Amino acid sequence: MSQLFCLHHWFLNKQPIPRATTVMFSSAACLWLLCHLAQAQQQPANESPTPVKSTNQILIDGAILKTVEVTSVAAQVQGLLNSVWVREGDRVKAQAPLASIQSTTTELQLNRAKVAMDVAQKNFESNIDIDLAEKNFAVAENEFVQAIESNKRVPDVYPPMEVDRLKLVRDRAKLEVDRTVHAKDIAKLEMSKIHIEYQQLEDLLDKHQVRSPVSGMVVAIEKRVGEWVEPGTVVLRLVEIDRLRIEGFVQAEQADPKWLDCEAQVELQLSGKPIRTTAKLVFISPEVNPINSQVRVHLDVDNRDGKLRPGLRPKVWIPNNQ
């Protein structure tokens, strides 16, 4: 290193360097360069400049579009699959019919229940028995009263045994009126019972129709026409595409719960055309990844126009001015 100090002195004083010194300087310079490289290699390799964070926005890292719900539509009754009215890729609305299961037996049972319900309805609406019982009671009551009045005017016109018999007839007629009223109440309950059975059969018949529980797109048909299905057998699978979810990550220091329900900006390229929309932050995970200090977040995005598709990787950010 003394040669380097001498060289430094000669440079400062603008003196010529001796030839012998030039050779020594070359050797010293090589030694100094090797030492400098060795020190550089001993520095930690993972040290990197601290990135400058943007103060204008919160960037969602690793954002990817995913489906929120995948629905498996299953059969509710057993039977042969009569028809399937949709194909893969069809968009359907909630409660739209998708397929049907053979229902001949249930239809016959429903028709029988309808006839029974009509009979019960007519029995309930009929007042013939009540009217007849009331007329019989009126006659018996009139005979009994006449006997009592006659005995008041002329004693023993009607013997006591005859009076007792007329009283018994009147009481029996009164009980008959009560019985017919009770029978009418029973007829009303019977009609309600048959009506409930009819509704049960209607519900059972409706279950032979496989309907869409949600709005979405048909992505798979698991059973074909003519196959036997049991309750719980998956017939079709639907994916909800009117609402998609964006999953991504933010730095832990930016994962403040105050950002929940905030509006984020979404931008991506589709078929060479830029698409911009908005999403709402709905979930911030309470867990922090200890490796990269990031927190998982979810955002919901409206996709009723059908432009976005699961699997795309958009650029998503939340403006800090919110």
Q: What is the pLDDT of residues 142-160, one digit of tens each?
A: 999 999 999 999 888 889 9
Which range is least confidently modeled, 110-114, 143-147, 253-257? 253-257
Domain assignment present for 130: yes
Residue range of the domain that includes 315: 57-68+240-319
Q: How confident is the model at residue 4 (pLDDT cuts 50, 70, 90)?
A: very low
Domain assignment present for 48: no
Mean pLDDT of 77-100: 94
CATH number for the domain harbouring residue 309 = 2.40.30.170
Domain assignment present for 47: no
Which range is least confidently modeled, 1-5, 35-39, 198-202? 1-5
pLDDT confidence of residue 39? 57
pLDDT at 25 over 90: no
Both 111 and 196 in one domain: the answer is yes
pLDDT confidence of residue 88? 93
Both 120 and 94 in one domain: the answer is no
Which range is least confidently modeled, 116-125, 130-139, 183-192, 270-279? 270-279
**Residue 83 CA to chain centroid, in angstroms?**
26
Both 181 and 147 in one domain: the answer is yes
Number of folded domains that form the chain: 4
Dihedral (CA of 56, 60, 66, 69) sign: negative
Indicate the burial class of 281 (C-beta count within 10 angstroms; 0-12, 13-18, 19 or more).
Answer: buried
Mean pLDDT (the chain) is 84
Q: How confident is the model at residue 319 (pLDDT cuts 50, 70, 90)?
A: confident
Both 95 and 213 in one domain: the answer is yes
pLDDT confidence of residue 31? 52
pLDDT confidence of residue 57? 77
* For the chain, percent of residues with pLDDT exceeding 70: 82
Both 111 and 164 in one domain: the answer is yes
Task: Write the DSSP symbol of residue 288.
Answer: -
Domain assignment present for 52: no
127 CB neighbour count, 10 Å cutoff: 11
pLDDT confidence of residue 32? 53
Indicate the burial class of 166 (C-beta count within 10 angstroms; 0-12, 13-18, 19 or more).
Answer: buried
pLDDT at 14 over 60: no
Q: Which pLDDT tens digit goes with each residue over 48-73?
A: 333 334 455 789 999 999 988 889 99
Q: Give the separation between CA 61 and CA 315, rounded to whole angstroms.
A: 8
Domain assignment present for 51: no
Domain assignment present for 95: yes
Both 142 and 198 in one domain: the answer is yes
Residues written for the chain: 322
CA angle 167, 171, 174 (to 5 degrees): 140
Both 84 and 163 in one domain: the answer is no
Both 192 and 254 in one domain: the answer is no
pLDDT confidence of residue 129? 92
Both 302 and 269 in one domain: the answer is yes
- pLDDT higher for 41 or 311? 311
pTM reported for the whole predicted model: 0.61
Both 120 and 178 in one domain: the answer is yes
Q: How confident is the model at residue 44 (pLDDT cuts 50, 70, 90)?
A: very low
CATH number for the domain harbouring residue 220 = 2.40.50.100
Both 199 and 121 in one domain: the answer is yes
Q: Give the separation between CA 100 and CA 208, rounded to whole angstroms.
A: 6
The H helix count followed by the E strand count for the chain is 5, 14
Domain assignment present for 73: no
Mean pLDDT of 278-284: 93
Both 107 and 92 in one domain: the answer is no
pLDDT at 27 over 90: no
